[in-house]
Structure 1
Amino acid sequence: MSKSKNSADTDLSSEQSSIQKITRSVDVAVIGAGTAGQNAFRQASKTTKSIVIINEGFWTTTCVTVGCMPSKLLIAAADRAHDAKYSEQFGIHSEVTINGKQVMARVQAERSHFESYIHKQVDSWPDDKKIAGHAHINKQGLIEVNDELIQADRIIIATGSSPFIPDGWDKKLGDTLFTSDTIFDMSDLPESMAVVGTGAIGLEMAQAFTRLGVAVTVFNRVNRVGGLKDKDINAKAIDCLSADLKMHLDSEITEVGTVFADDSLVAFIDYTDKDGNQVRWEGNQVLVATGRRNNIDQLGVENLGVELDDKNRPKNLKIDTGQIGDLDVYIVGDANAHIPLLHVASDEGYSAGSRVCEQDDEVYIRPPATPFSIIFTSPQIINVGMSQQEIEDDPDLEYVIGKVSFDNQGRSRIMSVNCGLLHIYACKETDKILGASMVGPAAEYIGHILATAITNDICVKQLLDTPFYHPTILEGLRTALRDVQHKMDIPFQSLDTQEDGF
């Protein structure tokens, strides 16, 4: 990748010297072998054999190794333990023993099973196309890796992301500090743990470890969980999750470190609670779940004349293609800090891999038509479409909020999962759904239905014309949709006059 396209010409003698050092020239270099990078490499390989993929670290994906899959494996074990321990109300009594080593062994074994499919794919690629090592783009726009100097006509950056650790915490907490990149490698469950952060990772792990018998304390500097922007849904989520979790919200951590107690090293967190009291927590481990940051700091993109914004994202990034300005450089997946979700990374990698070789103007990154997020706690948390704040900020939108509580919803109560609240934001002018926010049972399925409706411009009346089987948790969705129509003063007909169908 020549720098001359967007920067001052390099001294000729220096340039000639660097050219002499080039070990190979390729049409395409993919940097990073996660979901986006692997898809880009596979797609680009269909149209050129002059390609390499460079990767530092594991040759799998964030999702499989340190994200979606191991976290759900841990949650599955936690749910089994919870159901076994708290079934007295059904007349079922049992003694539950949790074998921490066995729990973690299964998490790691099943993770390895999922990883094996990716390893098989990577192993099928020619060895001369794969380079293990740290890639750096030098001042001549060449890629330095190990003892190689690679000239690439086009570069796809898919270097992913890493957990964010507050300054100095790694040194102060030492071996007691864990992140989502390391927590699944534990050989056993600890006795106690602090979880810092109430995003998806923080909430899911905090609840899972709690249900597996770990004494967990959660910290967050604001009174919010799951990134929820609807204050009523947020309040309900806090209420529901507090049945399991000990949470210190609106707390400010002032210091962290380790001390010796009872002849063993323990972690501590000094914090100011919501009432202004100075308090200290002590325990075995601290899981830092304060978000992730993209991995392009040490890549050398500034040597291509690229400036980064406060999110570590190129200022002239074209979201629709992933291209950086007019350079033949594309940044995809978590590395672009846009939408850090697996299905988005997959699509971005595929699109970039197609574009760099075919130069096809029809190829573009297709962002999700409808924003959609799920947090796999119990109860689950979803956000679909526009948030309430986004709707309120648009002066041209007249909207209503359809609501339903799951506290007394028929099937939810039968299953003893009856804690939840759903808000559906709908446009009065079009009868279309703008967005929704929910904490409650089966939220992942309700979220998919609402996302499909938003994506395909299905109006509220059309949704209500579809069948809602009795008795199901999804009948709660019908109740909220009916509330939307009631508030819009739009008449509807139904054979069932009872809100929850019981």
Structure 2
Amino acid sequence: MTTFTTDVAVIGAGTAGLAAERHARETGATTRLIDPAFAGTTCATVGCMPSKLLIAAADAAHGARQAGEFGITAEPRVDGPAVLRRLRAMRDDFARGVRQSIDALPEGTCLKARARFEAPGILALDTGDRVEARAVVIATGATPALPGPYEDVRDRVLTNETVFELEDLPESLGVIGAGPLGLEMAQAMHRLGVRVEVFDAGDRLAGLPSDTSDALHEVLTRSFPVHLDCKPEPSADGDGVTLKWDGGQARFARLLVAAGRPPALSGLDLEKAELELDDHGTPVFDAATMQCGDAPVFIAGDANHDRPLLHEASDEGTVAGRNAAAWPELRRAARKVPLSISFTRPEAAVIGAIPEGDGHVCGEIDFSDQGRAKVEGRNHGLARLHARAGDGRLVGASLCAPGGEQLAHLLAWAIQCEMTASDMLDLPFYHPVLAEGLQTALRDICRQAGLERPWQRDDTPLPGSNAGAAEE
């Protein structure tokens, strides 16, 4: 048995863990990075990148089918094996880049093993070795949840960790879970020719507020069924699965279970680290320092289940690594405006805080009549912007709109810069672009908040901008 002594031990070599190790080392601390596989980040291997590769293929197929709207005749022939081969080839290239960065770490940094707490500051490895650390960062990520009823049909179930390994597209797919992953995969599979239905026990899509959820539901259900407030019961049916629910039943070749990704904390023996745990067994931590209680233990990324997104994992890993190296001297970090995007078509997003109650006003833009969206045949969806009633300062937004991923960034930047609706209207808006439509909602906010409006010098809307609706 070997005992490794270090300043900072990081458990998990995903996005958060790699950031934590790097920033701890850059402050001069000695580090050990512990992982059982060093396979690459969730994003590169089973998350962001392979899912976007599938969506890109689906966009190509959909574009061909939609070409008739523009006077162009086309019909796609989807080669499922070829789609998935390209996906895996590019996915593997992304993952290879991550592994190369791991290989470039200083010699002796990486310990290939599973770790668990033996005592505060002491980690036992499944190799029989031990690590004694002045501070520990937990960055173990998350794993797919498999609800109990699906255990009996496990051999027919796909998750984000297995769906991209298919050799061919299934004939049909039942999707359990109407969160971002479930909806993205359902729509992509449908556009690639797979018969799809979605089921969710909740009443909203992708974590959206009710209005934008309804807008997304209206668009998606033009193509495939989305069953909300629904808990289907699965049963094996030959080499497929039958789902039965109140009012219907359907058979599918495979199921994709996208019912959440709880933190991967089992097996860490957290009780031996003497940490306070919440009702779900997750350490209680400070989101500004990533510290668990007052212990020299920090938790970052999907493992803390606070903001399970890649850019947040990177930021949290940075904060955790720096503070682990500096412990007990900690620095509190200002968090960025929350930003969550679902890459459905249209894209959906939630930005900042969606306020409830008095003291706030809301402006809305309906993209069904927005000029650039109509030109491109993507005129559907809406955006709702929220601001303080007193000064029109933007605090949050939700949208389901064409070009939503770009609009969401513009709004997130404006909110983080503490801009008012009037401030945004003083910025340039090119014509004709999708972002131009935001002017309608911004002007609506100014009208409700009684703000001076900078466009009064010339408030004539441009053709197709949909910027004058709030003034009519």
Q: TM-score, normalised by structure 2?
A: 0.93
Residues 140 and 321 from structure 1, CA distance in 2 versus in 1: closer, same or farther, beyond 3 angstroms?
closer
Using the alignment, how far apart are the partners of 1:340 and 1:46 within structure 2?
Answer: 25
Name the amino acid aligned to 2:356: I
Q: Aligned letter for 1:443?
A: G
1:405–1:250 distance in 2 versus 1, CA, 3 Å: same
**SS of alignment partner, residue 298 of structure 2:** strand
Letter in 2 for 1:471: P
1:501 to 2:468 alignment: no
CA contact (8 A) 1:352 1:365 kept: no
Task: Show CA shifts across 1:320-344 (max 9, x none).
Answer: 2111222211111111111111111
Aligned to 1:349: 317
Whether 1:178 aligns to 2:158 is yes
1 CA distance for matches of 2:328 and 2:422?
41
Q: Which amino acid aligns with 2:254?
A: Q
What residue in structure 1 maps to residue 308 of structure 2?
340
Deviations 1:106-152 (A, max 9, x none): 11111111112211111112453212221111257531211212222
Alignment of 1:391 onto 2:347 = no
2:235 corresponding residue in structure 1? 257
CA distance in 1, matches of 2:91, 2:331: 34
Letter in 1 for 2:350: N
SS in 2 for 1:474: helix
CA-CA distance at 1:299 after TM superposition: 0.5
- Per the alignment, residue 268 of structure 2 pairs with 299
> Does 2:362 align with 1:382?
no
**What SS does structure 2 have at the residue aligned with 1:25?**
strand
Cross-structure match for 2:77 = 97
Letter in 1 for 2:447: H
Q: Which residue does the alignment assign to 2:470?
A: none
* Kept in 2: contact 1:352–1:364 (CA 8 A): no
Change (3 A) 1:417 1:351: same
What CA deviation, in whole Å up to 9, does each residue of 1:362-419 have, x standing for no partner? 6334422x111111111111111111xx332xxxx52221111111111100100000
1:327 to 285, 295, 313: 295
Q: Aligned residue for 2:442? A: 481
Residues in 1 aligned to 2:36 and 2:2: alpha-carbon distance in whole angstroms: 21
2:259 — aligned with what? 290
- Cα deviation for residue 201 of structure 1 reads 0.4
Partners of 1:50 and 1:39 lie apart in 2 by 14
Alpha-carbon distance between aligned partners in 1 of 2:334 and 2:449, rounded to the nearest angstrom = 33
User: Conserved in 1, the CA contact under 8 Å of 2:407 and 2:435?
Assistant: yes
In 1, Cα distance between equivalents of 2:413 and 2:6? 42
Moved more, 240-249 or 72-81: 240-249
Q: 1:281 aligns with which of 244, 247, 250?
A: 250
1:59 to 27, 36, 39: 39
**Paired residue for 1:240, among 219, 222, 238?**
219
**Per-residue deviation, residues 11-47 of structure 1 (Å, max 9, x unmatched):** xxxxxxxxxx663322221110001111111222234
Q: Which residue of 1 aligns with 2:381?
A: 420
Instruction: State the percentage of identical aligned residues.
Output: 37
Letter in 2 for 1:65: T
Instruction: Summarize the Cα distance change of 1:400–1:43 in structure 2 as closer, same or farther, 3 Å threshold.
Output: closer
- Structure 1: distance between partners of 2:30 and 2:424: 51
| TM-score, reference length from structure 1 | 0.88
Q: What is the root-mean-square deviation in Å for CA atoms of aligned residues?
A: 1.9
Counterparts of 2:399 and 2:105, CA distance in 1: 44
Question: Which of residues 242, 255, 259 in structure 2 aligns to 1:268?
Answer: 242
Say if 1:360 and 1:192 are closer, same or farther in 2 by CA, change over 3 A. Answer: same
The total of aligned residue pairs comes to: 462
Question: Structure 1's 391 and 188: CA in aligned 2 closer, same or farther, altered over 3 A?
Answer: same
Q: Provide closer, same or farther for how the CA distance between residues 334 and 107 of structure 1 changes in structure 2, counting only shifts above 3 A.
A: same
Read off the aligned partner of 1:306 and give its amino acid letter. Answer: L
Q: CA deviation at 1:359?
A: 3.8
User: Contact 1:267 / 1:283 at 8 angstroms: preserved in 2?
Assistant: yes
Q: What is residue 372 of structure 1 aligned with on the other side?
A: 339
SS of alignment partner, residue 52 of structure 2? helix
| Partner Cα separation in structure 2 for residue 360 and residue 151 of structure 1 | 17
Give the Cα separation in 2 of the matches to 1:304 and 1:240. Answer: 49
Does residue 77 of structure 1 match 2:57?
yes
Once the two structures are TM-superposed, the CA of residue 495 in structure 1 deviates from its matched residue by 2.5
Question: In the TM superposition, what are the counterparts of 1:97-246 in structure 2 within 5 Å?
Answer: 97-139=77-119, 142-145=122-125, 146-170=127-151, 172-229=152-209, 231-246=210-225
What is the aligned partner in structure 2 of residue 14 from structure 1?
A: none
Shift of 1:501: 3.2
CA distance in 2, matches of 1:150, 1:58: 18
1:354/1:360 contact within 8 Å kept: no
Name the CA shift for 1:361/1:178 in 2 (closer, same or farther; >3 Å).
Answer: same
Check conservation: 2:392, 2:451, Cα contact below 8 A.
Answer: no
Rounded Cα–Cα distance in structure 1 between residues aligned with 2:207 and 2:457: 36
Deviation at 1:361, TM superposition (A): 4.1
Distance change (3 Å), C-alpha of 1:237 and 1:362: same
SS at match of 1:373: strand
Measured in 2, the distance between the counterparts of 1:206 and 1:494 equals 48
1:486 positional shift: 2.3
> C-alpha distance in 2, partners of 1:65/1:366?
30
Asked if 1 retains the 8 angstrom alpha-carbon contact of 2:121 and 2:136, the reply is no
8 Å Cα contact 2:25-2:31 kept in structure 1: yes
Cα distance in 1, alignment partners of residues 229 and 324 from structure 2:
47
Structure 1: runs of 5+ lacking an equivalent: 1-20
Letter of the structure 1 residue corresponding to residue 26 of structure 2: K
Aligned-partner Cα distance in 2 for 1:249–1:427:
33
The higher radius of gyration belongs to 1
TM-superposed CA distance for 1:256, in Å, is 1.5
